């Protein structure tokens, strides 16, 4: 099987941390990415959970606020002052 060289951009500190961790596992970074790629292709999904839970946009409070604002707009109560009241709750 022929191989190619792939180039990616990554933060320098993260690269050093990744290299050290892969070394602890007894492999190099290239092997780790190959394992990731093979798993991705075989399972046809990202082989780990991706979460936005630390992003405040996805917080329960903000999602409730957005839902109230959307409901207000959909019910014809989309005036700016009414949206400000919903956001202040």
Q: Determine the distance from the C-alpha atom of residue 48 to the mean position of all C-alpha atoms in its chain, rounded to a whole number.
A: 11
Please list, residue by residue across 34-71, b when 16 or more beta carbons sit within 10 angstroms of its beta carbon and e when fewer do.
eeeeeeeeeeeeeeeeeeeeeeeeeeeeeeebeeebee
Each residue's pLDDT tens digit, 30-70: 999 999 999 999 999 988 887 756 778 878 888 899 998 88
**What mean pLDDT is predicted for residues 10-14?**
94
Q: What is the pTM of this model?
A: 0.54
**What mean pLDDT is predicted for residues 74-82?**
67
């Amino acid at each position: 099987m022929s191989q190619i060289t792939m180039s990616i951009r990554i933060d320098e500190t993260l690269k050093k941390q990744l290299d050290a961790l892969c070394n602890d596992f007894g492999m190099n970074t290239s092997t780790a990415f190959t394992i990731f790629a093979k798993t991705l292709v075989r399972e046809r999904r990202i082989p780990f959970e991706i979460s936005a839970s630390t992003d405040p946009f996805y917080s329960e409070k903000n999602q409730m606020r957005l839902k109230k604002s959307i409901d207000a707009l959909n019910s014809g109560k989309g005036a700016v002052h009414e949206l400000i009241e919903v956001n202040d709750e």
